[in-house]
Amino acid sequence: MQRVVSVFLPTWPADRLLRRLGTNRPPPDALVVLVGRDVRGRIIQAASRQALLAGLRPGMSLAHASAIFGQLTHYEFDPAEDAAALERLAQWALRRYSPIVMPDPPAGLVIDITGASHLYGGETDLVTDLRQRLLNSRIAAHVCVADTWGAAHAVARFSGQGVFCIPSGGTPEALGSLPTEALRLDPDLADGLRRVGLETIGDLMTTPRGPLELRFGPEPGRRLDQALGRRPDLITPIQAPERIEVDRHFSDPILTSDILLQEVERLSRSLCEALERRSLGALEIDLLTNAVGGEWNALRVGFSSPTRHPERFMRLLKDRLQKTDRGFGIERLHLSASRSAPLIAQQRETLTSSPQVLDIGPLLDVLEARTGKQRLYRIQAVESDCPERSVERVSPLEPPNRARWDPRWPRPARLLEPPDPIETIALLPDQPPVQFTWKGVRRRVLRADGPERIHGEWIRGQDEWMSVRDYFSVEDETGERYWLFREGDGVSLETGSHRWFLHGIFG
């Protein structure tokens, strides 16, 4: 099932301009408008979010708007630069999210994420990440994922929600209440439909097609069929100019999976040869299949380390290629390295030298393909006395640092973050608890070891200059072992509050 993302940028011209101005941008509360000329004079063509909230609208004359709202910050409207910037934004989305991306002028993108969403932990994580990155760049965005371009386009622009995921098969219910202009209809055509009582897409769904076409032509029915997936709505992907890519056309369309695998393997070898000529290795590759009729399908796979081994490519592509919808045959294959990195050939060690380090890259590739990007990690020691700062998550292939685990001080396998407060009975200043209560359960301490005193790290700030923690390893009557600490040295409140916490569980 195809899944398509539509990105709507409601204030794109203003956002693009304000980003270009950088530190010279007007203050946040300024009413920013972009002005062009027509037969009526200087007309507002676009406005910032602040200006829209104040009541300014495209189509107002600059003189009229200035008379109503007072001082306006206005710039020249530049649709050519807006289109060029939208193309650059599409190239960014192409590199990051999917090999099938197309600008949707004047203020949108279309992204086919079929076969790519698993790399980001699923559709919801992908579209949430996409919108958040745009917001972090000061670009307002509404994002929707649906079965079709038409449905995603409509909901992104007319639902009013920042992120909307239409479940597969749920298109009719999602579109029913939206106005007819959400179907990418000409404004005059949508107005004509409204005058005869067809105000929503739901009204169009229940209207007989014959009288509708007789009165308004084929366009309303065509757009409705595209939104509902009854008619193809082709997305023509852009190409990244700097990509390393190979392409193959077939006079006889490919109908069987065996031949498809053979041709993809040939393309993989050609791509690896092109990468080798540039001393590069692929970190991510995109395979586009073009079926008879013009429909594109995409597969994107990533690698944990740069590679140019065709076998490694095919290990990830093979299973997914067998599930590819070939339709009436595939007449074109396009394979490209969407991300690459330097990969220099190394001399193999001699027989008398130390054994080669095991390459776990292929294993990580398979695991990441199943679990998603950045789901795999290893724990690494950090130079810090504070227990919660003494470990960090790093990539499995991250080079080891110089920090080492100290075997003299046993630590629990599980740390609680943040530490849980507990109630205790203990003698000050340095005796372990006799009993403690955690989560409403009282536990009597039979054995204890400690205290182990850990001082604050003064280099991190003044708050830690005097701070102290006293840690105890304790065992209760059931044999469970816990790691407790008291804030402070048990004498001076300057060193801590003297409250007790459970920080870890052994075993």
pLDDT in tens, the chain (507 residues): 789 999 999 999 999 999 999 888 899 889 999 999 888 889 999 999 999 999 999 999 999 899 988 889 999 999 999 999 999 999 999 888 888 899 999 999 999 998 777 777 788 999 999 999 999 999 999 999 999 999 999 999 999 889 999 999 999 999 999 999 999 999 999 999 999 999 999 999 999 999 999 999 999 999 999 999 999 888 888 877 777 889 999 988 888 888 999 999 999 999 999 999 988 999 889 898 888 877 788 888 888 888 999 999 999 888 888 777 777 889 999 999 988 888 876 666 655 555 556 778 888 888 877 777 677 888 888 888 888 888 888 888 887 787 777 777 778 888 898 899 999 999 888 899 999 999 999 999 999 998 999 998 887 877 788 899 999 999 999 999 999 999 998 888 888 999 999 999 997
Q: How far apart are CA 321 and CA 298, in angstroms?
A: 10
Cα gap 276→308, rounded to integer Å: 7
pTM of the predicted protein model: 0.65
The pair of structure tokens assigned to 184 is 């990418």
**Three-class SS of residue 178?**
coil
pLDDT at 347: 63
3-state secondary structure of 352: coil
**pLDDT score at 423:** 94
Question: DSSP state, 138?
Answer: T
C-alpha to C-alpha distances, 286 to 270, 310, 317, nearest whole angstrom: 14, 14, 10
- Written as one letter, the residue type at 45 is Q
Dihedral class, residue 73 (left if φ above 0, else alpha if ψ from -120 to 50, else beta): beta
pLDDT (tens digit per residue) in 277-301: 988 999 889 898 888 877 788 888 8
Given a contact cutoff of 8 angstroms between Cβ atoms, the answer to whether 46 and 11 are in contact is: yes
Cα angle, residue 92 at apex, residues 91 and 93 outer, rounded to 5° = 90
Which domains, ranges and CATH numbers included, belong to the chain?
8-80 (3.40.1170.60), 82-228 (1.10.150.20), 246-342 (3.30.1490.100), 414-505 (no CATH)
| Contact status, residue 401 vs residue 465, Cβ threshold 8 Å | no
Separation between Cα atoms, residue 31 and residue 195, nearest integer Å:
35
DSSP state of 23: G
- Exposure string over 98-124, b if 16+ CB within 10 A, otherwise e: bbbbbbbeebbbbbbbbbbbbbbbebe
Tell me the sheet residues that pair with 442.
437
Q: Which residue do the tokens 């622009």 mark?
A: 157
Strand stretches in 104-165, DSSP E = 108-112, 142-146, 163-165
